[in-house]
Chain A
Amino acid sequence: MISIKNLHASIGDKEILRGINLEVKAGEVHAIMGPNGSGKSTLSSVLAGREDYDVTEGEVIFNGKNLLDLSTEDRAREGLFLAFQYPIEIPGVSNINFLRTALNEIRAYHGQEEMAAKDFLALVKEKSKLVELDAKLASRSVNEGFSGGEKKRNEIFQMAMLNPKLAILDETDSGLDIDALRIVATGVNKLKSKDNATIVITHYQRLLDYIVPDFVHILYKGRIVKSGGKELALEMEAKGYDEIKKEFEIAD
């Protein structure tokens, strides 16, 4: 699905990612954990194509294509989806209109015709149930006036609508109470298939009780310093990141 090799990225002259190697196959769920400032969100931003970062070295192959050569929108059209840590508000643009535009852009990219309005609305109905999203939210402006929980649910709703190959959930658990967390996680689990993959970026182990990862990676100072199964997450939760910090201290 995605193969990241020796990825280096900086913002200004500060290097944040210092050689990331990661291989994610279809059907897998990977969790990336790490202390604040380890580069978790930078990794998701770089993969999605945010222009604030310069990739200085490395290669990312996504579905046989060189991801770093693709524009942000083409990455999305190829099936890469980022659930934002802080979803953005777009006043005056209804969620429905936004998603319909997005969906049809993706379809056009793949040489498919626009989805008929009737089918689209049926899809909205079906997918909004998945995250127990109030039908009213679908017709409201994108994220405007949504509560924190509603915003996160809306991200997963969009993910369900766009049906990506690879979804990156960037701290989707932050700011969620336990009920919202359960709803979001249930949604993600239902969307899981043998043809898609998920990267869950999180600070806490809590989310991983609900979205059970096949692999857990510990990111520290721009490198993956430790990988393992789901038990690694529990270990981190119990011991904290201090041990990792001691073990992998890198001089800046």
Chain B
Amino acid sequence: MANEILEEHINKDYEWGFTTDIDADEAPKGLNEDIIKFISAKKNEPEWMLEFRLKAFRNWQNMVEPEWAHVSYTKPNFQDIIYYSAPKPKKELASLDEVDPELLKTFEKLGISLEEQKRLSGVQSNIAVDVVFDSVSVKTTFKETLAEKGIIFCSFSEAVQDHPELVRKYMGMAVPPTDNFYAALNSAVFTDGSFCYIPKGVRSPMELSTYFRINASGTGQFERTLIIADEDAYVSYLEGCTAPQRDENQLHAAVVEIITHKNAEVKYSTVQNWYPGDKDGKGGIFNFVTKRGICLEDNSKISWTQVETGSAVTWKYPSVILKGNNSVGEFYSVAVTNNYQQADTGTKMIHIGKNTRSTIISKGISAGFSSNSYRGLVQIKKGASNARNFSQCDSLLMGDKCGAHTFPYIEIKDKSGVVEHEATTSKIGEDQLFYCKQRGIDNEKAIGLIVNGYCKEVLNKLPMEFAVEAQKLLAISLEGSVG
């Protein structure tokens, strides 16, 4: 099956590079307290939310953009970005019929047919989707079905209106507004995102998904996702994203927070496919994202799986704070860079509770002139007795003009901690390709086979539909990089 998929996608460029001609309601360019008040007012937010934003903004003004990542780029001019762009009409949509038909067409092109989703709403094991277009969530499907189970799945803006007690309690718990430069910026200007609450003892009957799309030119996208799994709850959450092909660099600075209570589990999977820029490195998304989960109580588990193929520059470290005893954190990552892409990605596993365990499997693939870095921190705090970590960081090089780097940091403050780290660097060999070709398999398919084999441990962690999409993406991203 993998081969059909690869075959189908040979010789394709970035497929999602189109723009949609939709009338947008935008804020003027630039960033100051008035803009933040404008955003807050647009969203009809309560006073505490505006306060949260302004506090974050004041903090942000005193912060400096981080420079420690192994990437180089021209820093964005934060006064030259539109911080609010909503497709019109932005009134409450009662049904899909009210959604702008242009927008629906866009989603069909992206392969998310909301119509289809709606029609199939009775069918089990479907996926509920929240779609965020530029700054605003346009539609959340399956809301009613989920509500029967007590699951809240809605846009962040709705959550602020309808479930303020939950938002106030949990927002900023895993990623405080002062956490870092981009998290602070996001906290000040975020315009929408997804919110999800799984009540006690409930396993979500379907996978929940957010689809992010940047459309308008000159905008940045700053969305927030907040997922809370109460005691004994479980949810598998998917995130996808694309953007039009533009010559300019666009900024995406998101925050994702996950909180798990006793015995709860959240599995978060991302296929990140923001526009990576053209073959000469022009344009593309700056993807500066803070993702963090906190295993608040005992026996809870948070698992991050990411397939990163997009963005011009990626700066992203989905992390887990293992606070509850016996809690488990996992990070499975495939990061592909081609042409002039740069990625500095990895994870942090912070062990605080006793008997906490974490696993890190990172697979980097570099091709073209790209640079691909793994950066990870494993921290075992004092008192985190019998904490364990296993890390494996592999790099695969294609061609001789790309770079792969590994920056593992390990801090152990408790004597009973056990940390294992394995790393390999390999090159797709001419020998492997020749061997495949001698068996009748052509170059592109051979690369697909070898790369998918290399990433298997990670791809296996993705939900089925996502794994298929990820395999396709890997093949497209690496087209023409060998031979």
Query: By the criterion CB–CB under 8 Å, are A50 and B434 in contact?
Result: yes
Q: How far is the CA of A102 from the CA of B436 in the complex (A)?
A: 8
Chosen A-B contacts, 16 in total, with CB atoms closer than 8 Å, are: A48-B438, A51-B430, A72-B434, A72-B437, A72-B438, A73-B440, A76-B440, A84-B435, A90-B453, A91-B453, A92-B453, A98-B439, A102-B439, A103-B440, A105-B445, A162-B440
Having A49-B438, A98-B449, A101-B2, one finds 11 other A-B pairs with CB under 8 Å, namely A50-B434, A71-B442, A76-B439, A84-B435, A88-B429, A88-B432, A88-B435, A93-B449, A104-B3, A162-B439, A162-B440
Return chain A residues, CB-CB under 8 Å to B440. 73, 76-77, 102-103, 105-106, 109, 162
Q: How far is the CA of A106 from the CA of B443 in the complex (A)?
A: 14
- Is B454 located at the chain interface by the 8 A CB criterion? yes
Chain A contacts with B in 56-110, Cβ cutoff 8 A: 71-73, 75-77, 81-82, 84, 87-93, 97-99, 101-106, 109
Give A156 Cβ to nearest chain B Cβ, in Å: 14
Return chain B residues, CB-CB under 8 Å to A99. 439
Residues of B in contact with A (beta carbons under 8 Å apart): 2-3, 429-432, 434-443, 445, 449-450, 452-457
Chain A interface residue bracket vs B: 20 to 34
Query: By the criterion CB–CB under 8 Å, are A90 and B449 in contact?
Result: yes
Known: A97-B449, A104-B3. A92 touches B454 (CB 8 A): yes
Query: By the criterion CB–CB under 8 Å, are A49 and B439 in contact?
Result: no
Nearest A residue to B450, CB-CB: A90
- Is A158 located at the chain interface by the 8 A CB criterion? yes
Return chain B residues, CB-CB under 8 Å to A3. none
Nearest B residue to A92, CB-CB: B453
Return chain B residues, CB-CB under 8 Å to A90. 432, 435-436, 449-450, 453
Q: How far is the CA of A73 from the CA of B443 in the complex (A)?
A: 9
Query: By the criterion CB–CB under 8 Å, are A93 and B452 in contact?
Result: yes
Q: How far is the CA of A93 from the CA of B447 in the complex (A)?
A: 11
Return chain A residues, CB-CB under 8 Å to B439. 76, 98-99, 102, 105, 158, 162
Give B444 Cβ to nearest chain A Cβ, in Å: 11
Return chain A residues, CB-CB under 8 Å to B442. 71, 73, 105
Return chain A residues, CB-CB under 8 Å to B452. 92-93
Contact with B441, one of A49, A51, A91, A101 (Cβ below 8 angstroms): A101
Give B27 Cβ to nearest chain A Cβ, in Å: 48
Nearest B residue to A103, CB-CB: B440
Known: A90-B432, A91-B453, A92-B456. A101 touches B445 (CB 8 A): yes
Q: How far is the CA of A90 from the CA of B449 in the complex (A)?
A: 9
Known: A48-B438, A82-B438. A141 touches B431 (CB 8 A): no
Q: How far is the CA of A51 from the CA of B454 in the complex (A)?
A: 25
Give A104 Cβ to nearest chain B Cβ, in Å: 7
Query: By the criterion CB–CB under 8 Å, are B450 and A105 in contact?
Result: no
Nearest B residue to A99, CB-CB: B439
Return chain A residues, CB-CB under 8 Å to B455. 92
Return chain A residues, CB-CB under 8 Å to B435. 84, 87-88, 90
Query: By the criterion CB–CB under 8 Å, are A49 and B437 in contact?
Result: yes
Q: How far is the CA of A89 from the CA of B430 in the complex (A)?
A: 12
Known: A88-B432, A90-B432, A101-B445. A73 touches B437 (CB 8 A): yes
Nearest A residue to B424, CB-CB: A91
Contact with B along A93-132 (1 / 0, CB 8 A): 1000111011111100100000000000000000000000
Nearest B residue to A75, CB-CB: B438
Return chain A residues, CB-CB under 8 Å to B437. 49, 71-73, 76
Return chain B residues, CB-CB under 8 Å to A89. 432
Contact with B449, one of A71, A77, A101 (Cβ below 8 angstroms): A101
Give B197 Cβ to nearest chain A Cβ, in Å: 38
Return chain B residues, CB-CB under 8 Å to A73. 437-438, 440-443
Q: How far is the CA of A106 from the CA of B454 in the complex (A)?
A: 24
Return chain B residues, CB-CB under 8 Å to A81. 438
Give A160 Cβ to nearest chain B Cβ, in Å: 13
Give B468 Cβ to nearest chain A Cβ, in Å: 15
Give A119 Cβ to nearest chain B Cβ, in Å: 16
Known: A50-B434, A88-B435. A105 touches B453 (CB 8 A): no
Query: By the criterion CB–CB under 8 Å, are B441 and A105 in contact?
Result: yes
Return chain B residues, CB-CB under 8 Å to A105. 3, 439-442, 445
Give A144 Cβ to nearest chain B Cβ, in Å: 10
Return chain A residues, CB-CB under 8 Å to B438. 48-49, 72-73, 75-76, 81-82, 84
Which of A77, A87, A89, A92 has the largest count of B CB atoms less than 10 A from its CB? A92
Return chain A residues, CB-CB under 8 Å to B457. 92
Query: By the criterion CB–CB under 8 Å, are A93 and B441 in contact?
Result: no
Nearest A residue to B449, CB-CB: A93
Q: How far is the CA of A141 from the CA of B449 in the complex (A)?
A: 12
Q: How far is the CA of A109 from the CA of B435 in the complex (A)?
A: 18
Return chain B residues, CB-CB under 8 Å to A76. 437-440
Give A102 Cβ to nearest chain B Cβ, in Å: 4
